[in-house]
Chain A
Amino acid sequence: MASRTASKDIITLRGSAAIVSEFFSYAANSILYNRGVYPEESFNKVKKYGLTMLLTQDEGVKAFIAGLTSQLSEWLEAGKLQRIVLVIMSKATSEVLERWNFNIETDAEVVEKEAIKEKSDKEIMREIQAIMRQVASCITYLPCLEEPCVFDVLAYTDTDVDAPGTWVESDAKLISNPQMVKLHSFDTKIHKVDTLVSYKKDEWDEDE
């Protein structure tokens, strides 16, 4: 409302929502790159979170993620978002191969009372950095995606949320009998984000 001095480590609901939605945008980009959903040459390097992140240059994907993050931040600010899932599916069969879960816990007190929390940006960035590193390292154990894939984003929201124009209600697109790996989490004191990747068991593994 007005411009005034503020100390450094204060974090507001809006700021936290911005951090989380930005994190998701970068994470989505990183996953799309690392899992090879889009060709490597369509990504550009940028410095972020003290790492070299890759951002897609495909206009369609960019617009999609931008629209997505703006909606997510709105939900985050309202405290209505419980989980975001990035689903990687086979293009041909629409079979769900991977689910990247970002479980979000919102501090209800902050949403209701507009309270302000304290946590330094640096610390949050460090936590995010750790997740990003893990995401990049996931290719070592995730099964290879050997067919052309598409991705989809699911948002788990409270039931009183009306689906805005570009959103439709969907099923959870679960993987039956999945393998699960829990990754690091980060916490802005307002939103706590747990990351988990579940994927289809490799047939080859099962044969053994």
Chain B
Amino acid sequence: MILRTPPQRKRRADADADAGADLAGVKSIGGVSATGRSPVSDRRLVLYDRPTALVAAGAPGEPFDDMVCTYHCRQMVKSEFMVALNTAEKQVQEYQAKLDALEEQLSKSEDERMQFQDKLNYAEQELAAAKGRESALQERLLKELGDYQERYHDQVKKINELEAQLNKEINSRISAESSASSAKESIKDLEENLQRLSERSEREKKTLKKEFSYLKDDLTLSVSKLNAELERMRLRAENSESEAKLLSEQLVDLKKQFDECLREKNDMEHKLLISSALSDQRAPTDDQKLIKLLQEELRNFEKEVHEARRLKSSHTNVELLKEKLLEEQGRKERAEMELSKLQEIEAKAHKLELELASCTLLLSNIPDVSSYGDIPQKFADLQKQALTNLNKVGEVTSRLKELEVALEFADLSKQRAEGEATLAKERAETATREAKRLELMLASISEERDKLRKDHAMLTKQKLRDGDDTPIKNMDSDLSGMEKIIRELESTIHDQKELISQKHAELDIMNERLSLEARKVKSLEREGDQLRSQVALLESKLGHGDYSASSTKVLRMVNTLAVDNEAKQTIEALQAELKKTKERLQAVEELKGQADAGTVVDANIAEKLAQLKNQIATLEKREERYKTVFAERISVFRKACCSLFGYKIVMNDQQQSNGIPITRFVLQSVYAQSDDEKIEFDYESGSTNIVVNDYTCQQEIAQQVEVFIRKMHSIPAFTANLTMESFNKRTEALTERQPQLEKKPPRARAPLSGKAVAALCFTSFVVGLLLSGKVSLLPASAPSASRYSAKESTRASGCDNDQKLGERHPTDLLNEVSRTHQAILSLDKAVSTLEVELAVERARSGGAGTAVASKPPQKAFVVIGINTAFTSRKRRDSLRETWVPRGGKLRKLETEKGIVIRFVIGHSGTPGGAPDRALDAEEAETRDFLRLDHAEGYHELSSKTRVYFTTAVATWDADFYVKVDDDVHLNLGILTSRLAKYRTRPRVYVGCMKSGPVLSQKGVKYHEPEYWKFGDEGNKYFRHATGQIYAISKDLAAYISINQPILHRFANEDVSLGAWLIGLEVEHVDDRSMCCATPPDCEWKKRAGNVCVASFDWSCSGVCKSVDRMRHIHKACGEGEGGVWNVAI
């Protein structure tokens, strides 16, 4: 029996051999060096020199023992030497090879050096260029510095100017204040004037009243005078009546005298007749005497009448009338005086109005300097005062008007008085006419008298011939004339009475007017009082809660407490239930639809899905086929290994007690004498360990395990040794039956086959490792423990057949398999995205029938939603002037490039309100809005983002959905070309990724109310794209759209989106060109050839003062016109 375990001694011999190889002298070193051993030789010896070592062990160290050595021994030594020589030669070769390699390396390094030198030169050139650039930059900087200095000087100048202006303005303000104060003073003056005016008007009123009273007195006086006149007239009339009576009496006397005269005459005639015969001369003397007496009497009578008429009536009458006239003239004068006074008052009023106008002018002048804060208030006060003043003025003017009316009345009365005066004149005239008439009458009477005289003369002449007829007739006519006169006088008296009554009526009217005016005055006073009280009330109310309807509106919240609330709750509960049942119904319907192969919802997608599934099925079939082929090849390989290395290897996937998966290899030698002779190894992540079992527990095996594995850590050596041993056992067992000669060859063969086996073992192990790496791909070749024995047996039996697919190379197969696997994975992705789409479709068709659902979504490449607000009209316009195309260009971009740009906005809190209407108008003009069903400002922006993605997904079928703020500058061309790169990848989230601190403090900007969810204080958010601009791919947008109701909204919108995506299989793409700063940063980058996607200022969360600066930024950092049109998508 051969001892397999190498003894310790062997090492020295090995060392000897080594030394011998080096120095070509065995003896010199053999004894000396116990120290010259090299670990290399030590390693080698294990493999091939056990028998010799065993022999050499008998005679250690002595050189001269070699000489004594047998041939065999010498042979051994020789072979050893040969081996050593060989190794030395090999080493030499190796060294040479190394030398070559080194030379090659040298040449390479030379080349590299050259390259480096080139690079160095290049770098130097670059340096020079950079220096040049630097100098250029410095120059520029200097220039800029100069510019800045100039600008600075300008600024200083401007500042000085501004200061001067400021001073001026301060001066002007002071002047304005002074003017305000002067205005106040003038207002005071005005008030004083007003007071004066009112006083004056009061005074005038009083004077008017006085005048009225005077007038009244005058009138009463005139009335009394008239009455007196009337009395006088009456008296006159009575006198004249009495005169008339007297006259009639005289007439009667005269008639009687006349009768007597006639009788006398008759007597006389009688006498004459008698005396004619007897005595004619006695009687005429008596008659003459009688006539003389009568004539005298007549004269006296006439005189009396004359005197009575002239003296008593006419003269007095005329005088009285004259007096009246004078009085009337005096009254007229007074009235004229009043008129002039009134004119004066009017003039005063006019003056006051002028003053007022000047005041209002002053007041109107004051607003020109209203740029100072205080003045508007003062101005408002002044205006109020002015208003009140105006009111007062109005009152005064009304009073004035009243006065004017009164004046007019006075005028009228004056006119009436004048009329009266004229009437009086007329009366005077009539009176004079009467006087004339009376004179005429007198003349007629005197004529009568003359006639009577003549008659008398005639009588005296005639004496006898005739009695007097004519004087009596004349007397009768006189009498009738007298009666006429009396009637006339009576009528004049009547007229006078009428006049008096008219005057009375006038007086009454005047009195009434007076009382009316007094009443008016009282009512005005009352109104004034009321106004004063109202002013007081208003003043009190101002602090208390009154308001002006022009600027304020009072709203009351409908009190829905108690009953209404309950009703509402029940209604809500019922609505919720209804919704639930609807959802259930929908689910049932969907289930039904699915039973009908789901074609109801979207035949197109379902078809696609079916196609893809078919594809997958064929691919899976192919994969299966490849797998079987692979399995066959593997079995061939195994069999080859088995026949070459003498071990059947079975691989088992197992799990350790701690759950770590391991692979167990079970090796069974082909020379094994029983099935129990199995060695088991556990392979786990690069290390292989032997498993202790019944077989390895046998003593000799255990010894070998101890030596080869535990001590030398060489499993291949162990297995090879074992093979050798079992082979020997086998052959020994055979040789027991066969002749003894047979025993040697294996021994002689042993060293050779040992080497071969060792090499084979090593390779087989390597292959085994290789295979174990592929195990996971091949479920068929990793059978479970129960299936193990069956497979094992088939493989064991099939060890020596099967070469069917030899024409194919196994690596090709592997490639094929991996390719198909990848194809299947990509198809899986496609299927999953399609399924998402299907879900979106279903959600849309089921989702409450919105208007969008009716039309199919438009195809697009990217949808860019610009987040905006109602108040940001200027920002929108600044974008429309820069990077957002307008009108036809916008549509063209949509149709040709698939780039959809919209301003995203919801509606105001009160739908149909003023902001909504303003936006409607803007939309009609620009047609670049996407209106969301979202109340602006009511909820957080997070919910707007949610609604935006949902609406965008429903409206457009785009590869990417971008959200950007309305104060960010964007380059559309760069953005689209950047996004096109990620087009093939599933679930992409592109943006400028950052991780800001979680702000737990209340009231600060970007405060996070749910800060406790993000762990301890001082933590930062998970990485997310900053909110100014980011893009998500279609599947992510669909995900948000589908799961919208259950996605939690954090306070910050970008954090919310990051949170929704952090838990998903999402590729976070951090693109720094999406967060460039404003010029000069982006300008420099553009010059360097890296045009930015987006630029903004971090400090303002967008471009600071974007409305003013957007155009400048666009000029500096824009990609230029046509940038977007040249992009190939």
Residues of A within 8 A of B (CB): 1-8, 10-12, 15, 19, 59-61, 63-64, 67-68, 70-71, 74, 77-78, 82-83, 85, 99, 101, 121, 150, 152-164, 166-172, 174-175, 177-178, 180, 196, 198
Contacts and interface: CB of A to CB of B under 8 A. Distances in A.
A167 B556 contact: yes
Contacts of B546: 172, 174
A11 B910 contact: no
B1098 interface: yes
A162 B556 contact: no
B1008 interface: yes
A101 B87 CA distance: 109
A131 B360 CA distance: 45
20 contacts: A1-B867, A1-B1054, A1-B1102, A2-B1053, A3-B1027, A4-B996, A5-B1006, A10-B1004, A10-B1005, A64-B561, A99-B544, A101-B544, A152-B556, A161-B553, A164-B909, A164-B910, A168-B555, A170-B556, A171-B554, A172-B547
Contacts of B557: 64, 67-68, 71, 152-153, 155, 166-167
A60 B565 contact: yes
Interface of B: 540-541, 543-547, 549-562, 565, 867, 909-910, 912-914, 937-938, 941, 965, 996-999, 1001-1006, 1008, 1021, 1026-1028, 1052-1055, 1098, 1101-1102
B999 A5 contact: yes
A79 to B, nearest CB: 11
Contacts of B1052: 1-3
B554 A156 contact: yes
Instruction: Name the residue among B558, B565, B867, B1028 with the largest chain A CB count within 10 angstroms.
Output: B558
A60 B1008 CA distance: 29
B275 to A, nearest CB: 128
B554 A2 contact: no
Nearest to A163: B555
Given A64-B559, A153-B556, A1 B965 contact: yes
A7 B1004 CA distance: 7
Given A155-B555, A158-B553, A161-B555, A60 B1004 contact: no
Contacts of B1006: 2-6
B553 A1 contact: no
A13 B1102 CA distance: 18
A68 B559 CA distance: 10
A162 B1001 contact: no
A101 B1055 CA distance: 40
A18 B1035 CA distance: 37
A99 B1098 CA distance: 48
B1025 to A, nearest CB: 10
Instruction: Name the residue among A1, A7, A101, A178 with the largest chain B CB count within 10 angstroms.
Output: A1
A164 B941 CA distance: 21
A2 B914 contact: no
A155 B553 CA distance: 8
B621 to A, nearest CB: 52
Question: Which DSSP category, helix, strand, loop or mixed, fits chain A's interface?
Answer: mixed
Contacts of B1026: 2
Contact of B551 (A1, A3, A158, A196): A158
B715 to A, nearest CB: 58
Instruction: Name the residue among B541, B546, B965, B1098 with the largest chain A CB count within 10 angstroms.
Output: B541
A102 to B, nearest CB: 11
Contact of B552 (A11, A101, A152, A158): A158
Contacts of B914: 160, 162
Contact of B545 (A6, A85, A161, A162): A85
B556 A154 contact: yes
A88 to B, nearest CB: 13
A10 B1008 CA distance: 15
A4 B1005 contact: yes
A83 B913 CA distance: 21
Contacts of B1028: 1-2
Given A154-B555, A161-B553, A2 B545 contact: no
Nearest to B1024: A3
A1 B1027 CA distance: 6
Contacts of A70: 938
Contacts of A177: 540
Nearest to B551: A159
A63 B551 contact: no
Contact of A6 (B544, B867, B909, B999): B999
Given A60-B565, A156-B552, A180 B544 contact: yes
Given A3-B996, A60-B561, A101-B545, 17 more contacts: A1-B941, A10-B1005, A60-B562, A60-B565, A82-B547, A83-B547, A101-B544, A121-B1003, A152-B556, A152-B559, A155-B555, A157-B554, A162-B913, A168-B555, A172-B545, A175-B544, A198-B545
Contacts of A156: 547, 552-555
A69 to B, nearest CB: 11
A168 B551 contact: no
Contacts of A1: 867, 941, 965, 1027-1028, 1052-1054, 1101-1102
A163 B557 CA distance: 9
A85 B550 CA distance: 19
Contacts of A154: 554-556
Contacts of B965: 1
A155 B554 contact: yes
Nearest to B869: A114
B906 to A, nearest CB: 13
B543 A11 contact: no
Contact of A2 (B938, B998, B1003, B1027): B1027
Given A2-B1101, A99-B545, A180-B543, A166 B558 contact: yes
Contacts of A166: 557-558, 560
Nearest to A16: B1003
Q: Which 10 A-B pairs have the closest CB atoms?
A: A170-B556, A6-B1005, A2-B1027, A60-B561, A3-B1006, A3-B1052, A162-B910, A3-B996, A167-B555, A162-B913
Given A2-B1101, A174-B544, A180-B544, A15 B1055 contact: no
